[in-house]
Amino acid sequence: MARLTYTITDETPRLATASLLPIVEAFSSAAGVSVRRVDLSLAARILAQFPERLRPEQRVPDALAELGELVTRPEANLVKLPNISASVPQLVAAVAELQAHGYDLPDYPETPETEEERDVRARYDRVKGSAVNPVLRQGNADRRAPAAVKAFERAHPHQARDWDAASRTAVATMSDGDFHHTERTLRSDRDRTVRVVLQGSDGIDRVLHPGIRLQAGELLDAAVLRSGALDGFLRDSMARAAHDGLLASVHLKATMMKVSDPIEFGHAVRAAYPRTFAEFGEVLAAAGAAPERGLGAVSAALTRLPPETARQVRARLEDDRVAGPELAYPDPEHGVCGLDAPNKVIVDASMAALIRDGGQLRDRAGAWRDTLAIIPDSSYAGVYQAAIDDFRTHGTPDPAGLGTVQNVGLMAGKAEEYGSHDKTFLIDAPGRVVVLDEDGTELLDHPVAPGDLWRACQTKPDAVADWTRLALRRALTTGLPAVFWLDPERPHDRALAEEARRVLAAEETAGADLRFLDPVAATIHALGRLRAGQDTIAVTGNVLRDYLTDLFPVIETGTSSKMLSIVPMLAGGGMFETGAGGSAPDLTRRFLDTDHLDWDSMGECFAVAESLRFAGEHGAPAASVLANAADAATERLLVEDRGPKAGVGAPDTRVQHYWLAREWAAALAAQTQDVALAARFAPVAEQLAGREGEILQELLAVQGSPVDLGGYYQPDPARLDAAMRPSAALNRILDQVRFGSQEPLNG
């Protein structure tokens, strides 16, 4: 029997899956395809780290380790939903919730001192940040807007805010002392193991990493972000925003880049509130409000401080607020600014939204304002400045006339996992960080000072070769130009381009339009073609893959949630990812407040269809029939505009899933490839159509009141099921599909 592995994750994707997955399971079972649920939520990943502290009935398997092994096998067939890449505040909140649920978990140790605390911290650090994706993504990404999505957008273009030619919005980024300007790259000439050592000015060597294994041909990059340069840049940026009357908005990825970006975020908080942290930084840190936690942690800590101290801190906060720039507020309705917590502004989602929304963000009163977007590292900041310049010059494009920008992204083998793993270090002593060969030969080195951030990353030759060939296949299949976004002035990109050209020299490339452009030139090229209604394939490294698969989908369709992401695994299996989850926290909060969910599940529907198609191509012909019918159903949903609508009382995600089930059943009943399946689904289609009024009434009637799921990070399964499957009529029909019985229409 063919089997799909389906990930259960967090927040809005988890809510939507609770409604959609029973439909997928019922329809798949009728075709002899099994669906296995695997819990990759933040809560489950935390619990898996502490089995010895839990009762037997509380223990959960280490699903990430299990799936990490699965994706190295050719039979892997995985549907992957967005999960929380946990910042420290999210991790601490999840631990507190699990403790309240009766799990004997230790508190997160901010400054571990004992061996036991260091062990606890190491376990929690395995959960922080981008813990999931590097393990599962054992292939490179082929991500694009399905043709049906583009057709829908041309018929129903999304509304984007107009750009003003006088807009003063701009990107501020570092011109020296950042990762971009200090990068050095080594291509290993053989298999070897290297060490990373901080050679202190005091004569003491400190081993930062005891052994990084490199393959012959593998790229090892190293770079340092200088703390003094960062602080100077942030001070200047805050002063510039205040002087120019722009909102100040810091754009990082402190969720995925679990070591570097949270520290940079803390520097930004200190730069925005310098007097507060200069005078009360130690007091606040002792109360759990280090700047890396954000201003929300400061507000929470005030209740734990002596009243007079709390009053003084409030006074300094107000002094800094008045003296500094106005901050951007991603959630002004709830008083949440971009520096409230490190997970409130995620650069790939936030910059795409800024460009879609006329180059403006909202201030604390909710008014739209021109903004200084502060992106410390300059590696890819120029991409966003180029997009801003294009929109300011040419205006907001009509989505109905746009082409599309597809993406082939390098990510296999943890390629370019910058800042989020065990090779990023906060330097605590002056000296030099050196990368040493087995015999002590220096391969790379950087002078460093206390507070600097040093990082390394690896990019394996088989991952680069697979990425290059995938780009070539896409170019030949589509006839579109495939543009490698690589900067010849950057050591890593230069080495990557050399390797890609070497691979292409051994391939048949006749008829393929292959180009190499630096990222800024590539942005200008892609936007020009996009406005002309022409399509392009962007071939990028891992970080730009992340950025562009939000930027262009948001420009084209208003959202990245409808994208299709196919990951052909190096070992022969497949992973099928849904759209990005950047809006998940806000949509989850609105659902909990109103019982209305307007998360669009189109991306999940596309992923399911591709997963079934993969199963069909590997020995389960009925799965191919299901896949084709699922595609027909999603196209019908798009044509008829059956997506969720905003506002209580409007059709929401659960209604969208009803229409999917109905159209899917109708397509299966009408197809002629599998007579038995057609006969099985003909009465199902009839019932789903005949009970439309009853089902819709049950789905819509629940809206308007708060929902208690019994937990945010670990919702109660029964409450979650009841909330996301409120139609008894629909549930009975799905049970009949699964168990092979039918009741009369009036039953």
Site of tokens 């409450």:
719
What pLDDT sits at residue 257? 77
**What average pLDDT does range 128-137 have in this prediction?**
79
Say whether pLDDT at 520 is over 70: yes
pLDDT tier at 580 (50, 70, 90 boundaries)?
Answer: low
pLDDT tier at 584 (50, 70, 90 boundaries)?
Answer: confident
For residue range 141-152, list pLDDT tens digits in order: 999 888 888 888
For residue range 389-442, list pLDDT tens digits in order: 999 999 999 999 999 999 999 999 889 887 556 899 999 999 999 999 999 999
What pLDDT sits at residue 503? 98
What pLDDT sits at residue 744? 40
Beta-strand relationship, 360-362 and 368-374? antiparallel
Q: Name every residue whose Cβ is closer than 8 Å to that of residue 483 and which is 6 or more positions away in sequence.
A: 515, 516, 517, 522, 525, 526, 536, 537, 538, 539
**What average pLDDT does range 285-293 have in this prediction?**
92
What pLDDT sits at residue 420? 57
Q: Cβ distance 413 to 138 under 8 Å?
A: yes
What pLDDT sits at residue 739? 78
What pLDDT sits at residue 419? 57
pLDDT tier at 579 (50, 70, 90 boundaries)?
Answer: low
pLDDT tier at 568 (50, 70, 90 boundaries)?
Answer: very high
Q: Give the percent of the chain with pLDDT over 90.
A: 84
Per the model's pLDDT, the better-predicted residue between 643 and 433 turns out to be: 433
For residue range 644-653, list pLDDT tens digits in order: 999 999 999 9
**What average pLDDT does range 98-127 have in this prediction?**
93
What pLDDT sits at residue 583? 74
**What average pLDDT does range 271-280 have in this prediction?**
97
Hey, what amino acid is at 734?
L
SS3 (DSSP) at 615: helix
Of the candidates 55, 81, 56, 53, the residue with the CA atom closest to the CA atom of residue 67: 81
| Mean pLDDT estimate for the chain | 93
Q: How far apart are CA 120 and CA 115, in angstroms?
A: 9
φ, ψ at 186 (rounded to 5°): -120, 130
**What average pLDDT does range 555-573 have in this prediction?**
88
Instruction: Report how many helices (DSSP H) and strands (DSSP E) the chain contains, helices first.
Output: 27, 22
SS3 (DSSP) at 417: coil
Compute CA distances 402 → 415, 451, 555, 574, 636, whole Å: 31, 46, 9, 30, 22
Say whether pLDDT at 746 is over 50: no
What pLDDT sits at residue 154? 84
Report residue 26 as tokens.
Answer: 């019922």
Say whether pLDDT at 525 is over 90: yes
What pLDDT sits at residue 743? 47
Report residue 62 as tokens.
Answer: 């280490």
Say whether pLDDT at 741 is over 70: no
**What average pLDDT does range 442-466 have in this prediction?**
97
SS3 (DSSP) at 294: coil
What pLDDT sits at residue 582? 62
